Amino acid sequence: MKTVRERSDALERSFGPLDDPANPLGGAAFVAADAAGEVPPAAETVLDHYGLNEEFVPAAHGGRLRRMDELGRVLRPVFRRDASLGFGYGLNCFFAATPVWTAGSREHRELAAGLLLGGDRIAVARHGVAHGNDFVRDEFTAQPEPGGGLLLSGSKTGIANASRARGLVVFARTGPPGQARSHTVLLLDRDALPPGRVTDLGRRATTGMRSAEFGGLAIEDCLVPESALVGGLGDGYELSLRSSLVIRGLIPSIVLSGADTALRTVAAFAVRPRNDGRSSLDVQHVRDVLTGAFLDLLLIDCLALVATRALHLLPKQMSVYAAAAAYLAPKLTAEAMDEMSAVLGEATFAEEGAYAMFQKQLRDLPVTSLGHAGSAGRQVSILPQLPFFAQHAWFADPEPPPGLFRLHEDLPPLDLAQPALLGDADPLAATLVASTDLFESIPLPRQGRDGGVLRFLSRAFAIELDDLRKAFADVPQGDRRALASPHSLGLADRYTLVLAAAACLGVWREQQTAGPEADRFLADTAWPSAALYRLCRRLGLALPDRPAAAEQRVLAEVLARLHGRRSYDLYASSLA
């Protein structure tokens, strides 16, 4: 099998330059297709030839899926161009199949693998939740029949690929409302269902990802065999939670890919010469926006790296990292997009031409990161773990294995049955504590450029972690009233920023010992100094002097990657 870099680069080249107006799969083509609510057929042909569905099938079942960090990386060339294409063609199929990979029988997995490897799609009809919305609240029900099997009925809107999918993963109500085990997961082959029982309800328009099909299905009195059950009767809610552990780790890669294109669009706008020979880059605020947006993407990618590699290395502790990454990545991206909009000015609203891709990404990004429950569900899964961490883990846990922060090192086999819903330790937070101790033990002259700033900022985050420990030290575990307060939600938000700082330090530290494989920019103290300064300012913590020299080096990297056609993430991948 080709390496992930070879696969990602091949997919990137297959699409051709995004900024070439003559490219039939360039930005202009995707903008035009988005306006028409369609995906360019030639783009799907590229993914057909590449075999993107193979990336969503575990290697044990004939696919290429071996590592979750690799899957996130392979998706980036697609999502840099069009979220509708990336989500509608394939990623939604992976989301749909995740319960099958997690808890399905051998027959279930073979069916799902056969569908995907054969070029078919799988759609998922999830259950409604209290923190959901009316757009996705309708549902299916399945009642056991006296002669065997279940009678499936109901309807659901907001299903991605509703009419295009042959495979259906249905979360159906099998118990009364309010019951803990009220839903069950079914895997169905639409071609094998009795004729006339499934009706397409038509497509619903969306503001973002306008080329993706979000349609509806109605199923009337359709008898399905008990063998269609994934897991057991009533396992639906648990399977939804367990699937989210896998899905959430991919969200940062999705959103940073769209923001990568947005940043490149704004950077190109900023460097273009005006009639007077100057450019927008002469304005300090513009330089700050470009620098800040790039730093946010690096922070997001650090969280993406941790969340996906922890599935392999820390399955019993990874749930909070996946939730934090999926919560924080869209938040940082949305704010960066707002700042970049101010730089573009009226060009933000361009519907054609060189800057039209920014408006498209601005519409698409909120939809790509919404997920089943959005940020509320991610916070809800973080909060219950914090009292335990405060009382048993913070300032007591050992550091995680170094491989958690290494970009290219191989990983143990992926086993989606291993991840735990609640973590029993917080080794990522231990990285922050260990980094602070390391800085304290090294004389300042040996810490190099920005060493004093990084030392100050690391200590500030360690103090913030201690403040969180004190805040949660006396909160009884499972005290829903205390955890549901606005104050606790605010603390959970602060905790995610602490994790982002820890992930950043972990990645930077591993680059110090990477030898010939080290990335020169990632090994520099500039980006972690500037990134942690940005996070500290966001938290309202005491700040050292602004690391202006470090920010200048980060800005130089922004411009170097613009002109050198490299991606704005940890990998600096070559672009077509």
Which of 103, 93, 157 lies closest to 128 in space, CA to CA? 157
CATH of the domain at 56: 1.10.540.10
The Cα-based distances of 123 to 57, 99, 183, 219 in angstroms read 15, 12, 17, 14
Instruction: Give the C-alpha separation, 431 to 434, whole Å.
Output: 5
H/E stretch holding 23 reads none
Is 413 inside any structural domain? Answer: no
Place of tokens 């394939």: 90
Beta partners for 217?
156, 200
Instruction: Give the C-alpha separation, 244 to 320, whole Å.
Output: 11
pLDDT in tens, 53-62: 999 999 999 9
Instruction: Provide the pLDDT for residue 119.
Output: 93
Strand 198-203, strand 167-173: pairing: unpaired
Is 517 inside any structural domain? Answer: yes
Of 96, 120, 144, the residue that ends a domain is: 120
Which of 73, 124, 70 lies closest to 95 in space, CA to CA? 124
Is 570 inside any structural domain? Answer: no
Inform me whether the pLDDT recorded for 448 exceeds 70. no
541 and 432 share a domain?
yes
Instruction: Provide the pLDDT for residue 406.
Output: 96
Q: Which two tokens stand for residue 120?
A: 């078919």
198 and 165 share a domain?
yes
Is 576 inside any structural domain? Answer: no
Q: Kindly report the CA angle at 91 between 65 and 169, in degrees rounded to 5?
A: 95
Amino acid identity, residue 256?
L
Other CB atoms within 10 Å distance of the CB of residue 100: 25
Prediction pTM value: 0.93
Inform me whether the pLDDT recorded for 484 exceeds 80. no
318 and 449 share a domain?
yes
Mean model confidence pLDDT for the chain:
90
pLDDT tier, 446 (very low <50, low <70, confident <90, very high otherwise): low
186 and 102 share a domain?
no
Which is it for the CA torsion 153, 155, 156, 161, positive or negative?
positive
246 and 368 share a domain?
yes
- Kindly state the DSSP code that residue 174 receives in the 8-state scheme: -
Beta partners for 189?
167
Which of 21, 2, 5 lies closest to 353 in space, CA to CA? 21
Contact 499, 303 (CB under 8 A): yes
The Cα-based distances of 327 to 255, 351, 453, 492 in angstroms read 11, 30, 28, 10
Instruction: Give the C-alpha separation, 76 to 143, whole Å.
Output: 42
Inform me whether the pLDDT recorded for 130 exceeds 60. no
CATH of the domain at 488: 1.20.140.10
Instruction: Collect contacts of 127-135 with beta carbons under 8 A, ≥24 apart.
Output: 127/171, 127/172, 127/173, 127/183, 127/236, 127/237, 127/240, 129/372, 129/373, 129/377, 131/373, 131/374, 131/376, 131/377, 131/380, 132/372, 132/373, 135/204
Of 202, 232, 262, the residue that ends a domain is: 232
Is 571 inside any structural domain? Answer: no
For residue 337, count CB atoms less than 10 angstroms from its CB and return exposed for 0-12, middle for 13-18, buried for 19 or more.
Answer: buried
Instruction: Give the C-alpha separation, 107 to 228, whole Å.
Output: 10
Residue 96 belongs to domain spanning: 4-120
114 and 130 share a domain?
no
SS3 label, residue 146: coil
Give the side-chain half-sphere CA count within 13 A for 229.
20
203 and 348 share a domain?
no
Inform me whether the pLDDT recorded for 395 exceeds 60. yes
Is 54 inside any structural domain? Answer: yes
Which residues have C-beta within 8 Å of that of residue 180, sequence separation ≥ 6?
A: 234, 237
pLDDT tier, 180 (very low <50, low <70, confident <90, very high otherwise): confident
**Total domains present in the chain:** 3
pLDDT in tens, 315-358: 999 999 999 999 999 999 999 999 999 999 988 887 777 788 89
Is 415 inside any structural domain? Answer: no
Strand 140-144, strand 198-203: pairing: unpaired
26 and 93 share a domain?
yes
Find the mean pLDDT for residues 7-26.
Answer: 94
Of 180, 213, 232, the residue that ends a domain is: 232
Amino acid identity, residue 180?
A
Instruction: Provide the pLDDT for residue 49.
Output: 95
486 and 377 share a domain?
yes
225 and 326 share a domain?
no
Is 416 inside any structural domain? Answer: no
Q: Which two tokens stand for residue 439?
A: 């800085």
Instruction: Provide the pLDDT for residue 515.
Output: 79
Which of 13, 129, 145 lies closest to 77 in space, CA to CA? 13
Binning the chain into helix, strand and coil, the percentages to the nearest 5 are 60, 10, 30
Find the mean pLDDT for residues 424-444.
Answer: 88
Lowest mean pLDDT among 104-108, 440-444, 445-449: 445-449
Place of tokens 């039209």: 356
Torsion angle (degrees, nearest 10) of CA 95, 96, 102, 104: -170
pLDDT tier, 133 (very low <50, low <70, confident <90, very high otherwise): very low
131 and 98 share a domain?
no
429 and 518 share a domain?
yes
Place of tokens 């008898």: 223
Instruction: Provide the pLDDT for residue 25.
Output: 95
CATH of the domain at 159: 2.40.110.10
- Kindly state the DSSP code that residue 574 receives in the 8-state scheme: B
Lowest mean pLDDT among 375-379, 443-447, 512-516, 544-548: 443-447
Instruction: Provide the pLDDT for residue 445.
Output: 47
pLDDT in tens, 217-266: 999 999 999 999 999 898 998 999 899 999 999 999 999 999 999 999 99
Contact 84, 211 (CB under 8 A): yes
